[in-house]
Structure 1
Amino acid sequence: MDKEPITADGLESLKEELIFLKEKKRPQIVAAISEARSHGDLKENAEYHAAKEEQSHNEGRITEINDIIARANVIDVTKMSNDGKVIFGSTVDLENLDTGEKITYKIVGKDEADLQKKLIFFQSPIGRGLIGKNKNDLVEIKTPAGVKNFEIKDVKYV
């Protein structure tokens, strides 16, 4: 069982989701199953089958989160001294030198990566291209969409 890096925020989010699934969603599903059972014949009871399927998904996610938490190697960059180097958990302000666009990414583990929230997986092309670089470095990153050129404007350990 390999340890997986995760930020302190990522671990906290998973714990919150786990509590929600166990304490809120699970009882709702049990109530829905009970309600559907009261409608009679289970063979042709769509509500019952839908509730059982939802229960299966919920329990699967609970198992998955428990596994992630068990394998978590929490890296809290707020407790590290910032030397301007991009590391796992750091927040990086970039300027795309090709378009002039400014963007901020946080380098995170696979279970918390979410491009919509600007949380990028440390082993993604951009993540790999940034790790180990320093503030003010110019970086060329090969992405599936082509080569992108960035300047690292700032590195924060927040």
Structure 2
Amino acid sequence: MTQTSDSVTWLTQEAYDRLTAELEHLSGPGRTELAAKIEEARQEGDLKENAGYHAAKEEQGKQELRIRQLRQILDSAKVGEAPADTGVVGQGMVVTVAFEGDKDDTMTFLLGSREDAADDMDVYSAASPLGTAIRGKKVGDSASYELPNGRSMNVEIIEVKPYAG
């Protein structure tokens, strides 16, 4: 989870192993199980009104999408240790920001890959508007980023620490 390139997905060894196992299951036994479900539903007759067949085909589409996502993540993955506690915002860091005008209005999140966050922590991509604005900043620094509605939001970095998992 160190940072050198935005095209790399930094993952802990645990996250990499978990995603690899998921990909192996979905692209092996998972595909076989789903193909059997589709064939079983196909045997039930008229495909136009066969809810079981349509549900299985929809599930197959979702599974294939997840397989493509996992391959993309794993193809660009770099396995590493959590970043050093330098106090600088970057991939793999848990960041707390305060919103302009209200120091009590804070948000804490992981800057990195949602695949790496094993708990309920919010995750923002380093390539997101907020992630881009705060990367390289330190505690006490301010940054501005554009909201989806086109307005600008200012934040102050309150805390930066490595993600511990």
What SS class does the counterpart of residue 101 from structure 1 fall into? strand
Q: Does 1:95 align with 2:98?
A: yes
Q: Does 1:104 align with 2:108?
A: yes
Calculate the TM-score normalised by the size of structure 2: 0.70
Match of 2:161 in 1: 156
Q: 1:41, 1:149 → 2: CA distance?
A: 58
What SS class does the counterpart of residue 94 from structure 1 fall into? strand
Match of 2:42 in 1: 37
- Higher helix proportion: 1
Q: Does 1:4 align with 2:2?
A: no
Q: Does 1:18 align with 2:23?
A: yes
Q: Does 1:143 align with 2:123?
A: no
Q: List gaps (5 residues or longer) in structure 2.
A: 1-5
| 1:81 equivalent among 66, 81, 84 | 84
Q: What is the aligned-residue identity percentage?
A: 33
Q: 1:125, 1:59 → 2: CA distance?
A: 29
CA contact (8 A) 1:112 1:119 kept: no
Q: Which amino acid aligns with 1:133?
A: K
Q: 1:65, 1:117 → 2: CA distance?
A: 21
Residue 134 and residue 12 in structure 1: after superposition, are their counterparts in 2 closer, same or farther (change >3 A)? farther
Match of 2:66 in 1: 61
Calculate the TM-score normalised by the size of structure 1: 0.73
RMSD: 3.3
- Per-residue CA deviation, residues 42-94 of structure 1 (Å, 9 max, x unaligned), is 56644324423422331342133123212213353x2x321211111111011
Structure 1 residue 151, shift from structure 2 partner: 2.0
Residue 3 and residue 151 in structure 1: after superposition, are their counterparts in 2 closer, same or farther (change >3 A)? closer
Q: 2:122, 2:114 → 1: CA distance?
A: 13
Q: Does 1:129 align with 2:133?
A: yes
Q: Which amino acid aligns with 1:129?
A: A
Q: List gaps (5 residues or longer) in structure 1.
A: none
What SS class does the counterpart of residue 45 from structure 2 fall into? coil
